[in-house]
Each structure stands twice: as structure tokens, then as C-alpha cells.
Structure 1
Amino acid sequence: MFSRLQWSGPRWLLMSCVMLTTATFGQAAAQESTPAPPGDSEITSQLPAADLPTMNEQGYLFELESSWTGSFETVPSEAPVYRLDVPAHDAASVEAIASRLGIEGTVEDQGSGSFAIEGESGTYFVTGGLAQYLSRAEIPEGDLPNDEQAVAFAREWLRQTELLPADAGDGVVLERVEEPARVIVAIEPIRPENLLSTYPSITIIMGPDAVVLEASFRWSDLNTADTYSLRPVDTAWTEVAEKRSYLEVGVPAGFADPGTTITGQAVYDQVSIGYTVSGIPGETQYLQPVYVFTGSLTPEGSSESFPITAYVPALVNSQ
């Protein structure tokens, strides 16, 4: 899915191609690629391009007429950019974490900053910006915790294992699975608000009786890199109106055949600032601002309306 908590995967949209998420969580699309905005910031240097979602299972294309009925008055003219600093690990730190997870074994140095340790109770693996824990605990019979309990149990488990970051947010339930019984909790950093990417985040999979079966840590320390000028919001809106934005559209599965070009009227009435990752994994990465325009889409020939969101990179000096 896309929005605040999507699963990781390939993200850049192809030019002139619509990209959609799964039907369960809505669909993302692009009408055309967004060109680099004119002008240079007097404050900061150029950043890598914003990383936006690319999933397109149904292959829809969108040819929409868009209009704006909201106000731009509350939109800021500048915003902070956050540098993502990946924690460094060595064999000793990995062994210490594994011990807190109840794993006894020998740490294997796999090179290039990757380490693994395996024991009777589970495994722990670290590479780059990812750390993963897999439990071998016996899965009990019983009920899954409700959403509130699941989030509370996830945070408490992280606290007890000393893996809860100081800047971790409250957490939300991503998904519940009936068979096998699983509940998936995601925790994001407190800041920035409206995080669109899945990085940084912690994902915890629990079974009955809130037994933690798996945990994935895609976490970094967030440091304010600088304050960046934003392209004028009316200029960003022009990208939406002229069909050069990236779209997330809540058209349900089966609405049209795969590959169909959907036409219609999109009316937007809200705009806010979201954040997404930029930069190549393994190199310096950032969280940078993106304009998020929201509204509703009425496909041609349909009496139904569906939520629509358009994303436009907000930085003047993002490639």
C-alpha cells in the first residue's frame, strides 16, 4: 500500500505511466513525469530526487481534468529536510542485541557491514539500514490482541529488549490476517508528520497471545540537514492540473479492465506537506518535503466518487 505505511518495494514512477497500489489499499498512478522546477535555492544545495511509489498491478492510465477549490494561504514557503544517519553495527553490538532477544550463538561477520547470529530461539540479521529478528518460539493457540493491545504490546516488547528508539511514535496496526492468525504493527518516528515512505519504520508481526514472531527495523537517526525553500504551491498545482503529478487513486478492484484509461473530473480541495525518502540506499539519504493535494475523482460515466491524492516534489532544488 501507499500512504504513510506502505510495504517497501520499487518506487520511482515511469514517465507517462500510471502506477497503482494494490486494490486493498488504493492505487497510485502518474500521468507524466514532473520536470525539475526552475530556479535555485539561496539556502541549500541540490538534493537527490524524491522517491515516490511505483506499484501498478492493474495498469490503469488516467486522463483527468483537475480543478482546485481550496486555499493556498496556509502552505509554508520553506520546510526542513532531515538527513537519515544509519546506525553503525559491529559484531559486539549485534551480539548484545541478540542476547536481549534471547538468542545465544556466534555472530557471523558476512562482510560489508552485514552480521548474522542464529540460536535455538531465533535469528538476528543486520545489513545496512535493515535489521531483522525471526523467532522460533512455539506459536500458542489463542486469540490475537485487538488493535490497541497490539500496539501497546509491540511498544512494550521493544522497550523490554531496549530496541525502542527515543523518537518512536505511537504505532498503528497495518494489517490483520485470519489464517495463520497474525497482526502487523508499524511504528514510525514522531517527526516529521505525514511520513509517506516506509523508511524509517519498525514492523512487528505478532501471533496469538501477542507473541512476537518477527520484527524488521528500517530505522535511522533523523538529523535536520537544513531548511529548504519550497517551490511556490501554485506552481506545484500547475503540475497536477497539467497531468504531470503522481497519483494515488482509490478506484476499487474490478472497476475497469486492467490497462484501461480512466477519464473523469478530479476536484482537489486540500493541500499539505508530506515527507518521503530521497537518495540511494547505501549512500546519504534524506527525508524531503512533498506537496500532497487531496480531493475526489468522479470517473466519466460513473455516479460514484473516489478519493484521489496527487503528489508533487516540493523542493526547488531537488533533482
Structure 2
Amino acid sequence: MSAEELKAQGNKAFSAKEFDKAIELFTKAIEVSPTPNHVLYSNRSACYTSIHKYNEALKDAQECVKINPTWAKGYNRVGAAQFGLKDLESAKVSYEKALDLDPSNKIAEAGLQAIVDMEMASGQTPDMGIGKIFSDPNLIEKLKANPKSAELMKDPEIVAKVRQLQANPTTVSQEMFTNPKLMQVVACILGVDLSGIPGGDVSATTASSEDVPMPDAPPAEAPKAAPKKTEAPKKKVEEVVPDSKKEADELKAQANALYKKKHLDEAIELYNKAWDTHKDITYLNNRAAAEFEKGEYDTAIATCKTAVDEGREMRADYKLVAKSFARMAQNTRCFEQVESH
């Protein structure tokens, strides 16, 4: 079998997310190729990046640019591997090199933006971003006390993952979508309703279980206070939930159940119906998560952008989540591509 035939099979395996199989096929293609082929090393590097074997990915990417130092996409591969190894300075140099060779290189632009996001998340810039959310030293205990995340936090692996994210928030985008349970916990922290876990401010929802009221002791000789006039208790005004919102929430609940079962097409359809029924960008955020899970990164980005545009007058935390999903989808789409030519 020729190198081109093996490469075609490797690309097909990659598209099916059969990364180990793709690596094997690209390796065979490299072995039988009559001359060193930079595209084959690039594609195998993409496979290693997809399974987080960044050292192997970097070796292949460096071999790619060694064979063809004028190919901008090779430096994208180098940058992606360095990004995965958290060597942000080197990754920045690689992406800038790619842009020098190809000023219209969208992947390099996205890579540079990802570096900025990571620096913001880890507190290396004045805007603390996601890093600020994970900096709470009591985060683990709050998540365990929060009924929305308590069950998930019984898993020691999830607890360990959250501690890793606290130590290095820059791994949020890399870890979040490789572990469904962790994805739900992070969504809970960020305030998005995902996979049946309603969002909300963790610190706010757990305050009542942690803070014990401590009234001051009365003074030694407390003066007698004049009797106060008793006022009739004010009637509590209950918020009226529109029928459209109730109907949309029922659709969302059904979609969440389908999402858990990985019935993503059906879930997306119901999230669409929920959004059409009542304009709440939570439904769009959830739809974007399902689209991301399907690997439809461009669609997920478009959905997130719609959520941001439609949510200008809505809750700021939902808008933050929409922007976060959009960025993660964009970064993942850029890193998970192979060359077919």
C-alpha cells in the first residue's frame, strides 16, 4: 500500500476520532514514503495532540518544519504542542512565525488568542478571568456542599481534577471536554445549566450551610424599649413565570436527558425548540455544548456568538460561559485538524 493510500486511511481514522489507529497508519505511511513527507509528520502530530501526548506531538511537528521550513501550518503544529505543554512563550513564537509565513493564517491567530486567554486565566494579566473563579481556597468544600455538584464530588478522581484546575486553571479548556463529569462540575462553577445540573453562583448557594448566625450578647443593663407598633406583614410578591418559560424548561430537561445518553442530535433539536419557545440563552449555551461534543466546532462557535449577541441585556455570567465555550470550540477546532493533501 502506498504512502498516499495509508495517509487517506489515516485521515479517515482521525475523522472518526480513532487516534491510535490513525497514528499507526501515518507511521506506516512515513515508513513507506519514498521521500520525507512533512504532511505525514504534521498529521501524526495532530493525532498526538488530540490524545494529549504533547511531547510526541512536538517531535513530529519539529520534524515537519525541518523538512519544510516554509510551510506555515507546520508551525501551527509546533505551537499547538507547545501550548499543550504549557510552554506559552515558545508557542507564541511558533504562531508568530506561522503568521510571518502566512499573514492570513486563522489557526495561528486563534492560537495566539488562546495564549492570551490562558495568561488571563492563570492571572498573568490584570484580568484574572477563569483563574479567579478557581482561586477560592474553599472551592472543594463548597462544591461538596452544593446539592448541584455534591454527587459528582463523591468521585475522588473528580476531586483530584478540580484540585489540579485550582493549581493550574490554564488546563480548564484542555481537561473540561475530555471528562463529562468534570465538564458538569466546571459548568456548575461557571453558572451554566448543563447536562441536568442547573447553574448558579457556588458561593451563593452554599453560604447558608456554612455560615452560622452568631447574634451579639445583650448589654448588661439593657434599657427597656418602648413597645413597637406591629405592622401587618407584607405580602410576598411571587415572580410569575411565563408559560413559555415553563414549556421551554420542560424541553430543556428532555434535551439534558438526551445529552447524558449521547443522543446529541435529538438534544440539539430540543434545545432549538426551547430557544424558539422562550428566549433564554441558557438553551443556546447547552446547545453549543452538545454541538461541541459532536465535534461541530464551527457550529458551536456560531451558537455561542448568537448567545452573546442575544444576551447583551441578560445575565453577565451566562454571557461569560457563552464566550468561554466559543473560545474553547475555536481552539479545539484549530488543534484537531489534519491535512488531506
Q: TM-score range by the shorter chain?
A: under 0.3
* Structure having the larger proportion of residues in strand: 1
Q: Could you say which structure has the larger radius of gyration? A: 2
TM-score normalised per structure 1: 0.25
Which of structures 1 and 2 has the larger relative contact order (alpha carbons within 8 angstroms, sep 6+)?
1
* Structure having the larger proportion of residues in helix: 2
